[in-house]
């Protein structure tokens, strides 16, 4: 990578961002395609000041992570309709003339990861969770015409999201009685250090031919391990992480992302943890 006066700047804003795998993934992609661009971490606490700085420094693209995905919205010049529906932005495109436009690529990443194992037309998916990830994935599934059934531990937040998605909500105790084409864990259940926990009883997994988990540390959660043993097709959290980054890269560059090198960088980053 050569940095000079014509290098375009991209990055990720959050607090913290030192753990992010995105710089390695995106910089490898820029290098692979021979693009004079660089991607760096921006530790940000003051969102408004950061956006003004991006404008002043002619930053072209920014990933947005916790805790700023909602806070950036009122400061944007424009927001993509899907990001507005989801109520969260994880990607900024910045133009000197038109300003800052916000997108959400989390739903794109989830849909693409799921479609690797499942033709999503006229399918039914049980979605676990009621937080930001579940919200993005839920609205994304609806875009494909998929029927969504929401499930979780917290009734109040679960029923609230279910009303917005116009779908049914069930408690986790109802899972063994449900059947669907697939199930997605959009919670942190099973994430390190709580790696011995699974939100779904092993005996119920046979009801869902495809199981996807957005957790990527560990890469194979207990849920996925037991799902594989039950004969289900499994999708780990690396897939959604990869594909949301691919969507960002393609928005920023207008080029097809080099998938193999981006995946390789994510895998290498996870191996080092």
Helix H or strand E segment including 234: strand 233-235
Q: Write down the catalytic residue from 69, 101, 123, 263.
A: 69
Contact 92, 102 (CB under 8 A): yes
Angle of helix 259-271 versus helix 237-253 axis, rounded to 10: 130
Cα of first residue to Cα of last residue in the chain, in angstroms, is 25
- Assigned token pair, 96: 């000197």
How many other C-beta atoms lie within 10 A of the C-beta of residue 86? 22
Q: Say whether 99 sits in a helix, a strand or coil.
A: strand
Contacts of 114 (CB under 8 A, 6+ apart): 120, 125, 182, 184, 210, 212, 235
Closest to 115 in 3D by CA, of 179, 210, 206, 180: 210
- Assigned token pair, 223: 């849920």
CA-CA-CA-CA torsion sign (229, 232, 237, 241): positive
Distance between CA atoms of residues 167 and 159, nearest Å: 9
How many other C-beta atoms lie within 10 A of the C-beta of residue 1? 11
CA distances from 235 to 42, 52, 124 (A): 30, 39, 17
Q: Which residues pair with 43 in a beta bridge?
A: 14
- Assigned token pair, 122: 């006229």
* Active-site annotation holds for 155: no
Contact 127, 137 (CB under 8 A): yes
- State the catalytic residues: 69
């Amino acid at each position: 990578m050569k940095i000079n006066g014509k290098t375009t700047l991209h990055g990720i804003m959050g607090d913290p961002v030192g753990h992010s795998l995105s710089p390695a993934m995106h910089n490898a992609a820029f290098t692979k395609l021979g693009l004079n661009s660089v991607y760096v971490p921006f530790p940000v606490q003051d969102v408004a000041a950061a956006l003004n700085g991006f404008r002043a420094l002619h930053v072209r693209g920014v990933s947005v992570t916790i805790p700023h995905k909602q806070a950036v919205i009122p400061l944007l010049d424009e927001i993509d309709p899907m990001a507005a529906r989801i109520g969260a932005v994880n990607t900024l495109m910045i133009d000197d003339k038109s300003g800052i436009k916000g997108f959400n690529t989390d739903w794109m990443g989830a849909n693409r990861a799921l479609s690797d194992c499942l033709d999503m037309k006229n399918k039914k998916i049980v979605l676990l969770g009621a937080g930001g990830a579940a919200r993005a994935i839920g609205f994304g599934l609806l875009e494909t015409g998929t029927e969504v059934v929401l499930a979780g531990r917290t009734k109040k937040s679960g029923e609230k999201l279910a009303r917005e998605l116009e779908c049914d909500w069930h408690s986790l105790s109802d899972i063994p009685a449900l059947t669907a084409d697939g199930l997605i864990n959009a919670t942190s259940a099973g994430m390190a250090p709580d790696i011995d926990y699974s939100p779904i009883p092993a005996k119920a997994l046979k009801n869902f031919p495809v199981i996807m988990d957005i957790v990527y540390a560990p890469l194979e959660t207990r849920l996925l391990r037991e799902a594989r043993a039950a004969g289900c097709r499994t999708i780990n959290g690396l897939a959604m992480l990869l594909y949301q980054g691919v969507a960002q890269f393609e928005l920023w560059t207008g080029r097809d992302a080099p998938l193999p090198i981006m995946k390789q960088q994510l895998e290498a980053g996870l191996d080092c943890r």
